[in-house]
Chain A
Amino acid sequence: MNPARTNPFTNRKPLQPGGREVFLKRLRQSLGHNAAQTPPLTEPPPALDESLIRQCNDAGPALIDRWIAKAKTNSMIIHRTTAEPAAIHAALDASFAAHNPAKILLNAADFDTRFSLAGHLTQKSVIRWTEPNCRETAFSCDASITDCRAALADAGSLVVWSDASFGRSSTLVIPVHVILLPASRILPDLIDGLQFIRNQNPAGLPSNVVIINGPSKTADIEMNLITGVHGPKHVYVILIDGM
């Protein structure tokens, strides 16, 4: 133990305000460092022993099955389809069956082009993210369709992040959320997910990354599980094989 450590109950001088310099000086002194300058690191942070952290190392069909099992325990509803427009349209219809949404936000441009999603939803009012005022319109939508960047099998998670074509609100403010997930995007573990996020963004992380583990929920009232407090109440995943 550091012999220079002080009794925190008898050395109680009031902390002087004064912004950054005073703050850092006090911090350095409390660590026994030179008050004027922060010393360089003398040792690296402890090595991350993967054998302690990793929960899933599956590949292939086992990986997909593991993700499905975990996602179901997270109250996500999964429709597994082939990469054919008709199959995806059927999965969309199945997802919307119980909700009959009138106004749908579409934030999956690549999928729309390839599978003609809007073309299938001609009976609905479809709003595309990146339309003017989409931020405001999103609040009044009944359902949203988005893609995602990755899925993680260890906890049944989905990974999304914001950029010029993908909004924060698309996955947040709308009661019914349908997510398109090509099976090839499933990764085994959170460790791989974090690595993937960094690799895909070598210049720096996106402004807003979210790891989603199912619908919004709370247990604040006598531990009763309630879904849909602020975020989506229902989360559907269309899991697409062969894409």
Chain B
Amino acid sequence: MTAPAIENHKSKENQSSTRHALPIFSSDFMGDARRASVNEALHAATENACVKKDAGRRALLPRDFANPDGLRTLAGNIKAHTLDHLDFYVEQLEANILKNGGQVHFAATAEEANQLIVQIAQQNQCKLIVKSKSMVSEETELNRSLIDAGLTPIETDLGELIVQIANDHPSHIVMPVMHMRRKQIGEIFAKFFNVPFTDEPQALAEMARVYLRDTFNKADMGISGVNFAVAETGSIVICTNEGNGRMCTSRPRVHVALMGMEKIIPRFADLSVFLKLLARSASAATLTQYTNIITGPKRPGEFDGPDQFHLIIMDNGRSRILASDYRDTLRCIRCGACLNTCPVYRTVGGHAYGSVYPGPIGALLTPLFNGLEHHEHLPQATSLCGACYEACPVKINIPEMLVLMRRDLKSVGKLKFSQRVLFRLWTIALSSKMLYLLGQKFQKLTLRHAIHSDAGWIKKLPGPAKGWTQARDFPKPPAKTFRQLWQERKPRP
């Protein structure tokens, strides 16, 4: 098979606009979500993948552990401890990587991280670059910077390769082409490889294998992300199923790993907690196919492996998050369990979030990285049902922080006049016993006797509240209020 060149894709983002910490693909959450919610093909694909993974995770954790909740608490506590002492652990990691013969670089921003990688490539005369799947490189739009510098990056994860060829964006942090049907993938490959159409998955994977095998052999540089960086040993850990991550870090002569600074864990033994949780949460497996623990470059006497190992530790706004009430979002290990379980994500798909980090955790991370004023709808893109918190292997209280973020809408001037008036009135009413009781009476009068009420549910609310009942019923208030019941039941002195 001939190896066609991947076109020089430019970012879909307007190049002249200010660079955000995260690339924004769309800022029209409401419009995108509305369109996605009636896209049946997208639904079928999303439901198929998410339901399977979510059910698998729910089945595996109690099957394999006596106390899965305790294990998640432990994982969350280790992450919380690491974040509280992140300066200590970053320095420990750096010292141990240097001791192992690796090199460490610090990047303040996404752009600086990209430029560091370009410099490493240029200093070593690297042209052809193989990449293993890495969300942080999506965050920095690394491929765009590499292409702009005249380098050729090739994605080697099957899903990411499809995304790259189609000039698309991943819609899920673990399953990048979850939104595509096999027919579509078949058409993309038929055109790219100039071969007859097939949508048989094994045949499609074989095309990618043949094409990429050749590329692995020729590549000068491999770029990977980092699932975990172990401070006490100076190791990075990469979990992959296809083996492309191992190819990228074993065959080319230079290996560059890029990580957000929150990826650190203190001890080698901590891996037992995180590897077990990650595989079950991300892909309903007991362990990923290949867990690759890399400690420095090739040693003297070894016959293969990279001559150089570089680690780039990136901030890109993480220090700002660390200093805020949202520190816990940095516990995230990017397993995607909150996406799979979320009723909103399952309905609108990944692209509606307009960011590389979709789903419940993305609804937090995207405004934190880019500013809430660009993403005012995201903290509202939740039913606050709490499924994400239950699914999270490191116990990030996502619903609580989404509510906090709604509070912070005020600080960036994104609360509408009507909302401000409503909240003001609400505050006054709830601060006064008399007004509270009056409100209760009013509510009973209007709601209990609402003309459309039927069997305990109100089908239609009047005035500004009618939006609520357009898609669901509203519960009828009970005959007696809690205060009345309390008065009746309270034992007399």
Write the residues of chain A forming the contact surface with B, with a CB cutoff of 8 angstroms. 1, 5-12, 15-20, 22-24, 26-33, 38-43, 45-46, 48-49, 51-53, 55, 70, 129-130, 134-135, 138-139, 154-157, 162-164, 167-169, 172-173, 189-191, 194-195, 197-198, 204-224, 226, 228-232
Contacts and interface: CB of A to CB of B under 8 A. Distances in A.
Contacts of A232: 243
A27 B99 CA distance: 23
B268 interface: yes
A165 B311 CA distance: 26
Contact of A210 (B52, B291, B408): B291
B276 A41 contact: no
Q: A-side binding surface: helix, strand, loop or mixed? A: loop
B411 to A, nearest CB: 5
Contacts of A168: 246, 250, 304-305
Contacts of B273: 48, 52-53
Contacts of B135: none
Given A213-B285, A213-B288, A221-B201, 16 more contacts: A5-B325, A23-B313, A27-B319, A30-B322, A31-B86, A40-B88, A46-B81, A55-B65, A169-B251, A173-B251, A204-B99, A207-B296, A211-B293, A229-B244, A230-B212, A231-B246
Size bin of chain B's contact surface: 35 or more
A11 B317 CA distance: 11
Contact of A230 (B64, B247, B320): B247
Nearest to B324: A8
B152 interface: no
A86 B88 CA distance: 56
A31 B84 contact: yes
Nearest to B94: A20
14 contacts: A8-B323, A17-B108, A23-B315, A24-B106, A27-B86, A38-B87, A41-B88, A53-B74, A134-B303, A167-B302, A167-B303, A207-B298, A229-B209, A232-B243
A53 B182 CA distance: 39
Contacts of A130: 303
A45 B78 contact: yes
B324 A7 contact: yes
B378 interface: no
Interface of B: 45, 48-49, 52, 64-67, 70-71, 74, 77-78, 81-82, 84-88, 90-91, 99-100, 106-109, 112, 156-159, 162, 175-177, 181-182, 185, 201-202, 204-205, 208-209, 212-213, 216-217, 233, 235, 241-244, 246-247, 249-251, 261, 266-273, 275-276, 283, 285-305, 313, 315-317, 319-327, 367-368, 371-373, 408, 411-412
Contacts of A172: 243, 246-247, 250
Contacts of A190: 271-272, 275-276, 287
